A and B are shown apart, each in its own frame.
Chain A
């Protein structure tokens, strides 16, 4: 087992390096001057500009700059923000926590909705199946930011007294914090729940026709025992993989949701940085985000191997 984890992580490293390279190159290969951007919109003398250039290490060969940046990143130093002049890591990680919380709640919602509708669809068939699949197909065509905007519209029109833009930090007011994240999480979770629902349905249908389920029935076990231990436990293995991979999709979608509901998460930060031309920040955010996604993929593989005792990773 340990071996599998190590192997999997090792495979991820070259991809991570590639990702970091892309993130780095993107920000440095732009029209306009990196040093100038650091100064923002204020005009500065050529001498000052040169000084900035030296400070940022821009006079060094590009590969040295890359290694320097990467080395720092590994120790947690993502450089300084152009906009706030403060360390990026310090600004990024609290916001990452917020996005993580949002994504977790959304993930839980998506799982709950997806697994229950998929299960119902597969077991009850008939009308239920038809309705669930119809709803899923429709939902698939609506992007999450459209859903979010429509939700805001709905509340604005019919429940104008309920405030939906009041994000509150967890430390300040835990309940308020959770409440403020409900609607955003819902918007984020709906399209993901469709994928989970369809996958659960397919998995349950497939497992239902397996011999061991017939044997379980012949054993005279209670219906809920069969459902829990024989059906769901086996059907869930492919669903876990899908769910884990959806985390990546949600990370991207959170940018839009955070913007709409004014939640100070990583996505908001990225958006602000783009607006401020805060290139070091963008670099850092992209690196962190991609790393998270890759780690999630590894976690999913491990979880899959744990649940399904037969899977071995060569």
Chain B
């Protein structure tokens, strides 16, 4: 758990401080292209002489920001939908779940591509797509505990004494939902890193000149035998980020002793 938090802190640092940490400007080209690691360039340079490390840091900021924002959005919507669906039940529940099933039926990636293709590869659309794609899972995770809690005895008791439904939802249901939601959010963050980097790998991510890990990986393919770090750098960064969220998820799971619902 502590390892996870440390890794997470590192990521947050990159997001917050980004450009300040980078030794060079990420778009600063130089004649020293495809260089190996050196004192001047810790991870070498890419095909047009830009410093790999700087691009990783600034690119990380972009990639991670998109990830966090998209997941936050999915979480907000998923939370609301799950709570409403589970709590109100009946027709509303069925309708919401059916709609979510449709979204769920698409392989994540296919849907993302389709939406981005339709709406254009802007930053806003990217975030929206990812939010849409991951909302069903989060909504489901919320709905589960809600369904069981709402039948509990002390909730019935509270209801019979006349406590308002909204208050019940807040006091009793919400706390039950927090643990599985935290774990699932961590996992979703890991998956989102994949989706974001994969989309930018295909060229559907945020447009240049902003660097991001996916497009760095794609660009590096052309000359990768000459400068392996241009590939290994972004690859390691991606792995580090997703590992962070996975470790966090496992740590949370142990800490909160959450059982699969």
The smallest C-beta distance from A71 to any residue of chain B, in angstroms, reads: 20
Q: Looking across the interface, which residue of chain B has its beta carbon closest to that of A14?
A: B98
Name B's A-contacting residues (CB within 8 A). Answer: 98-99, 101-103, 105-111, 113-120, 190, 193-194, 197-198, 201-204, 217, 221, 224-225, 228, 231-232, 235, 238-239, 242-243, 246
What is the bound-complex CA distance between A7 and B252, given in angstroms?
40
Given A149-B231, A252-B110, output 16 extra A-B contacts at Cβ < 8 Å.
Answer: A15-B102, A18-B98, A143-B194, A146-B238, A149-B221, A149-B224, A152-B221, A153-B225, A248-B107, A249-B107, A252-B108, A255-B113, A256-B198, A274-B117, A282-B114, A289-B107
30 intermolecular pairs with C-beta atoms under 8 Å apart: A14-B98, A15-B102, A16-B105, A19-B105, A22-B103, A26-B118, A30-B119, A31-B119, A140-B246, A141-B239, A141-B243, A142-B238, A143-B194, A143-B198, A145-B217, A150-B232, A156-B224, A160-B225, A249-B107, A252-B107, A252-B108, A252-B109, A255-B109, A255-B202, A256-B198, A270-B110, A274-B117, A289-B107, A289-B110, A293-B106
Q: Looking across the interface, which residue of chain A has its beta carbon closest to that of B203?
A: A275
A137 within 8 A of B: yes
A205 within 8 A of B: no
What is the bound-complex CA distance between A248 and B120, given in angstroms?
25
What is the bound-complex CA distance between A31 and B239, given in angstroms?
36
What is the bound-complex CA distance between A146 and B197, given in angstroms?
10
- The answer to whether A15 and B190 have CB atoms under 8 Å apart is no
What is the bound-complex CA distance between A274 and B120, given in angstroms?
10
The smallest C-beta distance from A23 to any residue of chain B, in angstroms, reads: 7
- Which of A142, A149, A273, A286 makes the CB contact (< 8 A) with B239? A142
Q: Looking across the interface, which residue of chain A has its beta carbon closest to that of B241?
A: A141
What is the bound-complex CA distance between A289 and B110, given in angstroms?
8
The smallest C-beta distance from A189 to any residue of chain B, in angstroms, reads: 16
Q: Which of A15, A143, A160, A289 has the most CB of B within 10 A?
A: A143
Cβ of B113: which chain A residues have Cβ within 8 Å of it? 255, 270-271, 274
- Which of A29, A150, A248 makes the CB contact (< 8 A) with B231? A150
- A143 with B242, Cβ < 8 A, contacts A26-B114, A271-B202 known: yes
* Residues of A contacting B: mostly: helix
- Which of A14, A140, A286 makes the CB contact (< 8 A) with B114? A286
Cβ of B238: which chain A residues have Cβ within 8 Å of it? 142-143, 146
The smallest C-beta distance from A287 to any residue of chain B, in angstroms, reads: 10
- The answer to whether B198 and A145 have CB atoms under 8 Å apart is yes
What is the bound-complex CA distance between A26 and B111, given in angstroms?
10
What is the bound-complex CA distance between A16 and B120, given in angstroms?
25
- The answer to whether A19 and B102 have CB atoms under 8 Å apart is yes
Within 8 A of B (CB), among A222-274: 248-249, 251-253, 255-256, 259-260, 270-271, 273-274
Cβ of B111: which chain A residues have Cβ within 8 Å of it? 286
What is the bound-complex CA distance between A290 and B107, given in angstroms?
7
Q: Looking across the interface, which residue of chain B has its beta carbon closest to that of A275?
A: B203
- A146 with B225, Cβ < 8 A, contacts A289-B110, A293-B107 known: no
- The answer to whether A274 and B204 have CB atoms under 8 Å apart is yes
- The answer to whether A22 and B102 have CB atoms under 8 Å apart is yes
Q: Looking across the interface, which residue of chain B has its beta carbon closest to that of A160?
A: B225
